[in-house]
């Protein structure tokens, strides 16, 4: 049996690390510094234009969420090995699978916390910058941005971060840190951009390439599922809960697979 | 040491948030407007040769925005074979709308609708598409199906000023990055003048386009029609059309010379726009009681009639004038 | 009562043909303080890692209180000081000890009192709030000792506990070990500090090239009347290497 208490104890280390890292705050300030001047640009004297601000802010949030998720997860276990704290850790009455799970939960929660902070700023910013409609105050306008679509979009983005963290963690056990960072960033960005098009690309490609692309389509995590930016920016409304549930189930199954894989690899790891 | 630095970060954050809250109030202040003249140069230095591609991309984004975030690429994916044509069709459609922004209203205004008005309704065409894609919504593996259910599909346009203004930033950026992007000027001016009730800004945009693209017949034409319909400025419109006519004739002459040199690839200047320029000029001359000039202009237009029906119409008009 | 440590015919060959341990057997009784000596690269750390279940043996077996150390439950009664560790630099020492205490299953109240106690023992009370990033080498070593003692284990396995400690720190450590012996705990430590070892331990073993070449008590007379541990050590270590054939015969 796995002990929740031990997993949580390990997870808290990663959370504390993120809390004391400066990158998140730097990223947040960078995002605000980029978006705020954009909001002051005058487009032919027409006021109340908001979608481009949403576009840029969400792009930055996605970018930073990828960066934060993979840099957090990629360093967890290699960091333990490099600091050699893995030895006193494993000398405690703890299973290796508990260490892997704790590290995963910790980095996933850390990345989620950072993401929620980003979305909080997003909601505040877009709320404050949007033109208040008749008889709503700024505050009400801000709150109006927190609707169902927004909630679902955040949930999807959280699921994205969890899956990406799991993938990076699994990668960190079989690749060097820099190779893992590069691969995970490539897969995440590549799937976000082209994930939906892979079958068509495979149709058009010639033999070896077409097989590789098709394999990627079936094997790699479909990160493009989670991208709800168009829905959010252009007000397409909420997801159908059925498909949302399917995607969350997919996420959980994929994460479970990656965690079992990681545990098996870590159990055989020589220290 | 740790605490104060965390505090200062938080403080900085709060200050920035305060700045965001203030920014929209201040941006209207004339002293705070960014200097407009310097920007294009800065951007061209920044982007170098790639700015044409970036400008095209931004212009494309404006179209994506007009279709509520759904690009051609997505449409094309839905229906791979026949869609390719459909897409171009749609594309040309939009370009035509930009070319003749006021064509629809001409007819109502009794003026010279020297254009065949058989163009299909944009919306009907797309509704058909939508049906097709619905029918194709089956098949594919799990991943394809999930994606289909997740991504917004279908054809939607922005409606009303509140939504339509959203495409402006991309057109703005497109002409800032690539000042030679004539389509972006035309679309921007069209949206400003026709959809957003800002003809003054539309005219300013066309003037800026002319400054960067001297001799652009399409911009002259758009400017003339805008002056004619939106500002009711017949003289202004006439002289703009006249400038456009001169520019066109110059291009025509150049083209003929290159053809004479045996260079067969040179692109022929668009005769339809010339025909329409002359039509508007003739119409204005007619209104301003200068029938001889109107006759001359119509006569000049006659060989360029795009269809036999319009040619007959034009002939009837000429006969009417001669009868007077 | 099972032995605290039982090593049976242990052998370890690292990947890359590095033979670190060879047919090595040893038992340590409960309540004993055992000094584990040997030149650099003799295989002391390798033995300790196998004892903790961090490394698998190539052949042979180890038992801690009669149980397999690879089972987490076995390690509950075990405190370990690693040879080198840079503890989480973004924490302070109290946070670090809380973390390890939680993993060892201490209750919250017990944990806080134990933290105060061990910090007092290793002399780190005044640095409770200082980030580990700014700890000196000796302070980190004391931190390591504190985490090994934290859950009051029955068996302590310390890998070179004296390194980096100042004279005062060494004396404190000596006192700690004496105390543990008083309480009936078992201590197994590797060291290069022969004089310290001699004072503290009940028994010691000398490892050379992965083989135990001497095991005895301090003050025991060796061969031609040698009592001084340093001399014994040098003599054992400087013996010409056994030829492979003889080695087989010796076992
Ligand atoms: N991870 C490893 N992979 C391969 N060989 C190793 C590894 N760790 C140790 N060795 C080798 O095993 C032998 C024993 O090493 P070990 O670390 O156990 O020595 P030690 O007695 O602790 O030395 P020291 O006194 O320097 O700490 C050495 O020859 C070393 O090179
Ligand atoms: Mg060692």
CB within 8 Å: A199 and B141: yes
pLDDT tens column, A212-253: 999 999 999 999 999 988 888 888 888 889 999 999 999 999
Distance from CA of A69 to the nearest CA of B (A): 22
C40 CB within 6 A, ligand 1: yes
pLDDT tens column, A48-106: 777 888 888 899 999 999 999 999 999 999 999 999 999 999 999 999 999 999 999 99
C59 CB within 6 A, ligand 1: no
Interface test with C, best of A6, A79, A93, A270 (most C CBs within 10 A): A93
Q: How far is CA C76 from the centre of its chain?
A: 16
Q: Hey, is the C-beta of A87 within 8 angstroms of any chain B C-beta? A: no
pLDDT recorded at residue A39: 77
CB within 8 Å: A46 and B201: yes
Q: Hey, is the C-beta of A87 within 8 angstroms of any chain C C-beta? A: yes
Distance from the alpha carbon of residue A27 to the mean position of ligand 1, in angstroms:
43
- Strand intervals (E) in chain C: 5-14, 18-28, 33-37, 59-64, 78-81, 155-159, 186-190, 203-208, 211-216
Chain C residues whose CB is inside 8 A of the A88 CB are 80-82, 85, 100, 144, 147-148
Output B153 or B210, whichever has higher pLDDT: B210
CB within 8 Å: C55 and A92: no
- Average pLDDT (C74-88) is 92
Confidence of residue B5 (pLDDT cuts 50, 70, 90): low
pLDDT tens column, C160-194: 999 889 999 999 999 999 999 999 999 999 999 88
Which residue of chain A comes nearest to C51, CA vs CA? A91
CB within 8 Å: C99 and A9: yes
Question: Could you tell me what percent of chain C has a pLDDT over 90?
Answer: 67
- Out of A12, A83, A93, whose CB is closest to C104? A93
Distance from the alpha carbon of residue A86 to the mean position of ligand 1, in angstroms:
17
pLDDT recorded at residue A65: 93
Distance from the alpha carbon of residue C160 to the mean position of ligand 2, in angstroms:
7
Q: Hey, is the C-beta of A33 within 8 angstroms of any chain B C-beta? A: yes
Q: How far is CA B289 from the centre of its chain?
A: 33
pLDDT recorded at residue B60: 86
Distance from the alpha carbon of residue C43 to the mean position of ligand 2, in angstroms:
7
Q: How far is CA B109 from the centre of its chain?
A: 22
Nearest to C81 by CA among C12, C155, C27, C180: C155
Nearest to C94 by CA among A16, A76, A111: A16
Confidence of residue C128 (pLDDT cuts 50, 70, 90): very high
- Out of B33, B147, B166, whose CB is closest to A42? B33
Residue C133 contacts residue C140 (beta carbons within 8 Å): no
Distance from CA of A169 to the nearest CA of B (A): 24
d(CA A158, CA B4): 31
Q: Hey, whose CA ends up nearest to atom 30 of ligand 1?
A: C41
Confidence of residue A32 (pLDDT cuts 50, 70, 90): confident
Which residue of chain A comes nearest to C145, CA vs CA? A88
Which residue of chain C comes nearest to A15, CA vs CA? C90
pLDDT recorded at residue B114: 43
pLDDT tens column, B37-65: 445 566 666 666 787 888 888 888 888 88
> Which of C44, C49, C188 is the pocket-test mutation for ligand 1 (most atoms within 8 Å of CB)?
C44
Q: Hey, whose CA ends up nearest to atom 7 of ligand 1?
A: C14
C69 CB within 6 A, ligand 1: no
Say yes or no to pLDDT of B90 above 60: no
Distance from CA of B144 to the nearest CA of A (A): 7
pLDDT tens column, A154-190: 999 999 999 999 999 999 999 999 999 999 999 999 9
Chain A residues whose CB is inside 8 A of the B165 CB are 43, 46, 48-49
Locate tokens 């850390």: which residue? Answer: A110
pLDDT recorded at residue A133: 59
Chain A residues whose CB is inside 8 A of the B162 CB are 48
Chain A residues whose CB is inside 8 A of the C99 CB are 9, 12-13
C41 CB within 6 A, ligand 1: yes
Residue C194 contacts residue C27 (beta carbons within 8 Å): no
C147 CB within 6 A, ligand 1: no
Q: Which of residues 230-269 of A touch B (CB under 8 A)?
A: 230-231, 233-236, 239-240, 243, 246-247, 250
Q: Hey, whose CA ends up nearest to atom 19 of ligand 1?
A: C41
Chain A residues whose CB is inside 8 A of the B12 CB are 29
Pairing of strands C155-159, C33-37: unpaired
- Average pLDDT (C215-225) is 73
- Chain C touching partners, 3 or more CB pairs below 8 A: A
Q: Give the ligand 1 atom nearest the CA of C39.
A: 25
Q: Which two tokens stand for residue A82?
A: 């490099």
Phi then psi dihedrals of residue C36, to 5 deg? -115, 110
Q: Which residues surround ligand 2, an ion (CB under 5 A)?
A: C 44-45, 83
Which of A30-44, B218-232, B289-303 is least confident?
A: A30-44
CB within 8 Å: A85 and C84: no
Which residue of chain B comes nearest to A231, CA vs CA? B152
Which of A214-218, B148-152, C56-60 is least confident?
A: B148-152
pLDDT recorded at residue B100: 33
Which of B121-130, B220-229, B247-256 is least confident?
A: B121-130
CB within 8 Å: A52 and B170: yes
Distance from CA of C235 to the nearest CA of A (A): 33
pLDDT tens column, C101-115: 999 999 999 999 999
CB within 8 Å: A233 and B69: yes
CB within 8 Å: C147 and A88: yes
Contacts with A101 (C-beta within 8 Å, 6 or more apart), sequence order = A2, A7, A10, A259, A263
Q: Which two tokens stand for residue C216?
A: 């005895």
User: What ipTM describes this predicted complex?
Assistant: 0.88
Output B222 or B128, whichever has higher pLDDT: B222
Ligand index nearest the alpha carbon of residue C17: 1
Q: Hey, whose CA ends up nearest to atom 4 of ligand 1?
A: C14
pLDDT recorded at residue B161: 74
C205 CB within 6 A, ligand 1: no
Helix (H, G, I), strand (E, B) or coil at C45: helix
Ligand index nearest the alpha carbon of residue A270: 1
What is the DSSP secondary-structure string of B39-55?
A: HHHHHHHHHGGGHHHHH
Locate tokens 């963690």: which residue? Answer: A169
C101 CB within 6 A, ligand 1: no
Phi then psi dihedrals of residue A146, to 5 deg? -90, 65
Mean pLDDT score of chain A: 88
- Give me the residue spans of the domains in chain A: 4-268
In the 8-state DSSP scheme, what is residue C91?
S
b/e map C186-222, b = 16+ CB within 10 Å: bbbbbbebbebbbebbebbbbbbbbbbbbeeebeeee
Q: Give the ligand 1 atom nearest the CA of C207.
A: 21
pLDDT recorded at residue B315: 87
Helix (H, G, I), strand (E, B) or coil at A94: coil
d(CA C122, CA A67): 41
Q: Which two tokens stand for residue C226?
A: 């040698």
Residue C196 contacts residue C170 (beta carbons within 8 Å): yes
Q: Hey, is the C-beta of A123 within 8 angstroms of any chain B C-beta? A: no
Say yes or no to pLDDT of B6 above 70: no
C14 CB within 6 A, ligand 1: yes
Q: Which of residues 89-108 of A touch C (CB under 8 A)?
A: 89-95
pLDDT recorded at residue B289: 85
């Amino acid at each position: 049996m796995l002990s929740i208490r031990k997993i949580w104890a390990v997870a808290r280390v990663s959370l504390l690390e993120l809390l004391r890292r400066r990158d998140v705050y730097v990223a947040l300030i960078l995002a605000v510094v980029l978006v705020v001047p954009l909001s002051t640009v005058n487009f032919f004297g027409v006021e109340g234009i908001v979608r481009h601000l949403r576009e840029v802010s969400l792009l930055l949030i996605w970018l930073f969420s990828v960066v934060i998720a993979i840099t957090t997860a990629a360093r967890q276990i290699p960091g333990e090995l490099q600091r050699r704290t893995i030895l006193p850790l494993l000398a405690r009455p703890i299973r290796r699978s508990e260490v892997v799970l704790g590290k995963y939960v910790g980095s996933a929660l850390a990345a989620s916390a950072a993401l929620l902070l980003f979305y909080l700023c997003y909601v505040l910013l877009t709320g404050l910058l949007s033109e208040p409609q008749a008889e709503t105050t700024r505050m009400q306008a801000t709150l109006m941005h927190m609707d169902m679509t927004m909630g679902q979009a955040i949930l999807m983005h959280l699921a994205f971060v969890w899956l990406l963290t799991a993938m990076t963690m699994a990668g960190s056990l079989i690749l060097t840190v820099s190779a893992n960072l590069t691969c995970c960033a490539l897969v995440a960005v590549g799937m976000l951009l082209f994930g939906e098009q892979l079958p068509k690309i495979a149709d058009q490609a010639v033999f070896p390439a077409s097989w590789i692309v098709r394999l990627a389509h079936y094997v790699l995590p479909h990160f493009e599922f989670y991208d709800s930016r168009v829905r959010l920016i252009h007000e397409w409304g909420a997801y159908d809960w059925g498909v949302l549930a399917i995607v969350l189930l997919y996420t959980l199954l994929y994460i479970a697979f990656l965690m079992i894989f990681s545990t098996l690899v870590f159990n055989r790891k020589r220290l | 040491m740790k605490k104060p630095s965390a505090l200062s970060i938080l403080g900085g954050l709060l200050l920035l948030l305060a700045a965001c809250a203030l920014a929209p109030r201040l941006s209207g202040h004339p002293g705070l407007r960014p200097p407009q003249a310097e920007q294009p140069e800065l951007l061209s230095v920044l982007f170098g040769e790639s700015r044409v591609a970036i400008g095209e991309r931004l212009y494309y984004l404006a179209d994506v925005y007009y279709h509520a975030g759904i690009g051609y690429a997505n449409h094309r994916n839905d229906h791979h074979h026949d869609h390719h044509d459909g897409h171009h069709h749609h594309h040309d459609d939009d370009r035509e709308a930009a070319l003749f922004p006021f064509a629809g209203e001409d007819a109502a205004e009794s003026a010279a609708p020297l254009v065949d008005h058989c163009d299909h309704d944009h919306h009907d065409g797309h509704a058909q598409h939508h049906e097709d894609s619905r029918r194709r919504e089956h098949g594919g593996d799990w991943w394809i199906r999930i994606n289909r259910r997740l991504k917004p599909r279908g054809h939607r346009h922005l409606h009303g000023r509140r939504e339509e203004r959203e495409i402006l930033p991309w057109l703005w950026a497109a002409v800032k990055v690539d000042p030679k992007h004539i389509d972006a000027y035309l679309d921007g001016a069209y949206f400003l003048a026709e959809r957003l009730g800002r003809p003054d800004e539309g005219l300013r945009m066309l003037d800026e386009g002319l400054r960067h693209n001297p001799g652009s017949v399409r911009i002259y034409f758009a400017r003339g029609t805008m002056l004619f319909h939106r500002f009711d400025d017949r003289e202004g419109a006439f002289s703009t059309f006249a400038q456009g006519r001169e520019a066109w004739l110059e291009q025509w002459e150049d083209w003929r010379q290159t053809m004479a040199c045996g260079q067969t690839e040179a692109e022929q200047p668009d005769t339809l726009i010339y025909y329409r320029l002359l039509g508007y000029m003739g119409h204005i001359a007619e209104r301003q009681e200068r029938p001889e000039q109107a006759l001359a202009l119509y006569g000049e237009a006659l060989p360029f009639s795009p269809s036999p029906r319009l040619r007959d119409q034009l002939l009837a008009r000429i006969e009417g004038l001669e009868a007077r | 009562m099972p032995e605290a440590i039982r090593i049976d015919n242990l052998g370890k060959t690292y990947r890359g043909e590095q033979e670190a341990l060879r047919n090595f057997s040893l038992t340590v009784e409960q309540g004993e303080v055992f000094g584990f000596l040997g030149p650099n690269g003799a295989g002391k750390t390798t033995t300790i890692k196998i004892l903790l279940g961090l490394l698998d043996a190539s052949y042979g077996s180890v038992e801690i209180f009669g149980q397999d150390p690879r089972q987490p439950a076995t390690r509950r009664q075990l405190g370990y000081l690693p040879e080198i560790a840079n503890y989480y630099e973004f924490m302070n020492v109290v946070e670090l000890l809380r973390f390890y205490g939680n993993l060892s299953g201490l209750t919250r109240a017990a944990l806080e009192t134990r933290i105060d106690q061990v910090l007092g023992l290793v002399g780190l009370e005044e640095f409770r709030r200082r980030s580990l990033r700014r700890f000196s080498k000796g302070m980190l070593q004391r931190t390591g000792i504190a985490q090994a003692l934290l859950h009051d284990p029955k068996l302590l396995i310390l890998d070179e506990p004296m390194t980096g400690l100042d004279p005062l720190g060494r004396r404190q450590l000596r006192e700690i070990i004496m105390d543990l012996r008083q309480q009936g705990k078992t201590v197994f430590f590797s060291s290069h500090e022969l004089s310290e070892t001699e004072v503290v331990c009940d028994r010691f073993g000398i490892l050379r090239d992965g083989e135990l070449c001497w095991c005895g008590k301090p003050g025991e007379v060796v061969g031609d009347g040698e009592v001084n541990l340093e001399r014994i050590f040098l003599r054992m270590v400087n013996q010409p290497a056994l030829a492979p054939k003889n080695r087989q015969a010796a076992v």
